[in-house]
Structure 1
Amino acid sequence: MTWRPDEPYNTLPLLPPTVDIETVAVLKRAIDARAAVAALDQAALRMPNPAVLLNAIPILEAQASSEIENIVTTTDELFRYAQDESDLAAPETKETLRYRTALFAGLDSIQSRPLSATTAIQVCSTVQGREMDVRNLPGTIIANPVTRTAIYTPPQGGGVIREKLANWADFIHGSAEIDPLVRMAVAHYQFEAIHPFADGNGRTGRILNILMMVDAGLLASPILYLSRFIIAHKDDYYRLLLNVTRDGAWEPWVLFMLSAVEATATATLAKIDAIQALQATVRDQVRATSAGANSDLLDVLFEQPYARIANVIQRCGVSRPTATKWLNELVDAGVLRDVKAGRDRLFINHGFLEILTRDDQG
């Protein structure tokens, strides 16, 4: 049956693709991408305090991935409520932070059981904040937002979708001869083409990308986030996805995803270098205050861009007056900025926040 954008694509071919997906061009690009990921992974493992990245990178990924779905919030809002998801947070902020929760829940899941359709359902349920299951009802269409004409109609019917998800999972685990980054790119297309849920497919699929890289042993922790690259090349992303469906154009799609991995890994490595240089500077500035050579205080300032007095009290084992004095001295020195947040004060490591949010991908 010929594919038509306005008809359910129940004949979506199963994996693996029948064409050669590891072309010479793909393998060359995969070598470069793998090298960039390996360099990033090693740099992260050498960091004295891995929480510096583990707390921040998933929040940035959550923000970018949600922005693709037109759920827009600010980095300021996300980090402000990252430690305390209070009722003061906007609905968009709470929804975006659920992405981070879903990511870590997915990581916990693949420690005990293989990545599968069940993993995808759990991730999507957390992202959406309600129990999700594969679609059973007809009527799901991806349409042009302006003309409302169909661009793509995914497979319909619970049985069909579950069959294709089972094949998707078999491909992930049963194609060890295929480069893991190539396998991730192919699996990402297939998941988005299956479009198994009524909502949340894009964000779920992007979390699954990270889980696949961790599961394949390419990364020890989820510190590579592709969503910012996808935002910057959003038209290409959707065009190349559709070209696989319409024309079987696998090579350009896989090359795009490999480029996304390489560029993002290189950019994140640049952030690590900049963070470590800033840590050395701030360490000297902390020593010039009454805190002296307090490594715990330095950790507090870099584990989150926003610190509270309570964080310093708990981590450094000091009284509230002492913690307040240390933070005020760093505000006076220009290391931190402070803002009111209800009855609390937040102390912003603005240099760290600037490194995290700037675009290092060029």
Structure 2
Amino acid sequence: MKRKLQGKYVTISTVGEKAQAFVPAPLPPCPPINWTPELRNKFDQALLSLGRLDSVSALLPDTSLFIYMYVRKEAVLSSMIEGTQSSLSDLLLFELDQEPGVPLDDVREVSNYVAALEHGLGLLEKGLPLSLRLLREIHGVLLAKGRGSGLTPGEFRRSQNWIGGTRPGNAAFVPPPAHEVLECMGKLELFLHDQPEPTPVLLKAALAHVQFETIHPFLDGNGRLGRLLITLLLCEQKVLREPMLYLSLYFKAHRQYYYELLNNVRLVGDWEAWLDFFAEAVIVTATQAVETAQQLLDLSSQDREKVKGLGRATPSTLCVYQALIEHPIATSVSLVKKTGLTPATVNKALSHLGHLGIVKELTAQKRNRVFSYADYIKIMSRGTELPSQ
């Protein structure tokens, strides 16, 4: 099958020079995707993996706690791809109003991501379809505070942007001119709403992600929003009951290849290589999420058993332990507030949890001590480790 450019180049004039900007053809792809038996099989496997992941959310004793941490892990990873230096512990400390060990803007960016995802899911629950309005609203939250807040949050760009390089003339990729953005996004919205034809949801997520990244409709935050789009689509279409699938870790691990595949779609229409990669990302990521959930379940049941051996101190210590599962970095003050126990009882429980090796103190001070449920954070942090400076 002969390959072809998936769009057209237009000449733009900006910063005193001419450059070629790429305007993608609307979806679905033309010529249609070549569904080899191998590719079809890969997509079937990916759907099975999603089914397993969805059923795990029914096994978890409290799905919201797992989601709470999982969303934060994704926020850290997705922001890391953009060069942000923030760990999961930094984010949890920031949410506690303690001092994170990295620049405040980095953690604020990650915190915005959590808020943006929660806002998007809330709008979907209220019945707002996945639409340009919803994407703009999420973007407004994503760039509300910190870096990027001066780059028109919640509005499609009115000026030219580019990827890589110092100007459009030496960029790795130049997205459509600003006056073409609304039309391109309007066609993407139609595709999301099954026009001109219905598209199976996993395939729709894979195609829409590339299209969104190619249009690059905002001045900042496109990468993070394009990755969120995948999860929001799976949740809106009820493939997942809970937002438990995030591909950022896989994209981060295969970053160079990921960018290469996006470019090959644009230049020669090689959708098949991208779809193979995307299906593999879903299989690997969903399997990892199932394993993580299982490890957290095992850890929690082992640690509860340890606490049950404490005799009379068991009920209050279990109460503090439960609060630490909900927020694995906490201060004794926040635990008093959360549990309703007296400061003396909370401190005694923390002492027991320390002796049992469940809790570690992060500070060596008399007041405002910070405690960490270290093994829980360790399981959740896999893949988010910051490279050593």
Per the alignment, do residues 79 and 217 of structure 1 end up closer, same or farther by CA in structure 2, a change over 3 Å counting? same
Q: Report the counterpart of residue 103 of structure 1 in structure 2.
A: 117
1:116 equivalent to 2:138? Answer no
Structure 1 counterpart of 2:105? 91
Kept in 2, the 8 Å contact 1:22–1:182? The answer is no
Answer yes or no: is 1:14 the counterpart of 2:37. no
Task: Quote the Cα distance in structure 1 between the aligned partners of 2:85 and 2:325.
Answer: 25
- Which segments of 5 or more consecutive residues in structure 1 lack a partner in the other structure? none
Which position in structure 2 is the counterpart of 1:81? 94
SS at match of 1:344: coil
Alignment-derived partner of residue 243 in structure 2: 222
Q: Distance in 1 between matches of 2:199 and 2:208?
A: 12
Of residues 179-188 and 297-306 in structure 1, the stretch that sits farther from structure 2 once superposed is: 297-306
Structure 1 residue aligned with 2:48: 35
**When the two structures are aligned, how many residues end up with a matched partner?**
357
Work out whether residues 65 and 325 of structure 2, in 8 Å CA contact, stay in contact via their aligned partners in 1.
Answer: yes
> Which of 240, 249, 252 is residue 273 of structure 2 equivalent to?
252
| Alignment RMSD | 2.6
Check if 1:339 corresponds to 2:352: no
In 1, Cα distance between equivalents of 2:331 and 2:118 = 24
Q: Is the 8 A contact 1:30 1:179 kept in 2?
A: no
Q: How does 1:81-230 map to 2 (within 5 A)?
A: 81-84=94-97, 90-111=104-125, 112-129=127-144, 130=149, 131-138=153-160, 140-144=161-165, 149-158=170-179, 160-174=180-194, 177-230=198-251
CA distance in 2 between counterparts of 1:262 and 1:322 reads 46
Aligned mates of 2:39, 2:340 — CA distance in 1:
53
Query: Is the 8 Å Cα contact of residues 296 and 315 (structure 1) preserved in structure 2?
Result: no
Q: How much identity, in percent, do the aligned residues show?
A: 27
The secondary structure found in structure 2 opposite 1:9 is strand
Q: Is the 8 A contact 1:49 1:299 kept in 2?
A: no
Q: Is the 8 A contact 1:8 1:156 kept in 2?
A: yes
Shift of 1:313: 2.8
Distance 2:20 2:167 in 1: 20
Q: Which residue of 2 aligns with 1:70?
A: 83
TM-score, with structure 1 as normaliser: 0.91
Give the direction of change, closer, same or farther, for the CA distance of 1:30–1:148 in structure 2 (3 Å limit): same
Point out the more displaced range, 334-343 or 299-308. Answer: 334-343
TM-score by length of 2: 0.85
Conserved? CA contact 2:53–2:286, under 8 Å: yes
Equivalent residues of 2:81, 2:252 under 8 A apart: yes
Q: Counterpart of 2:375 in structure 1: which amino acid?
A: G
Aligned partners of 1:334, 1:135: CA distance in 2, in Å?
Answer: 52
Q: Which runs of 5+ in 2 are unaligned?
A: 1-6, 12-18, 385-389
Contact map agreement 1:337 1:348 (CA 8 A) in 2 = yes
Partner secondary structure for residue 292 of structure 1 = helix
Letter in 1 for 2:92: F
Alpha-carbon distance in 1 for matches of 2:258, 2:30: 22
Deviation at 1:260, TM superposition (A): 0.8
Match of 1:348 in 2: 372
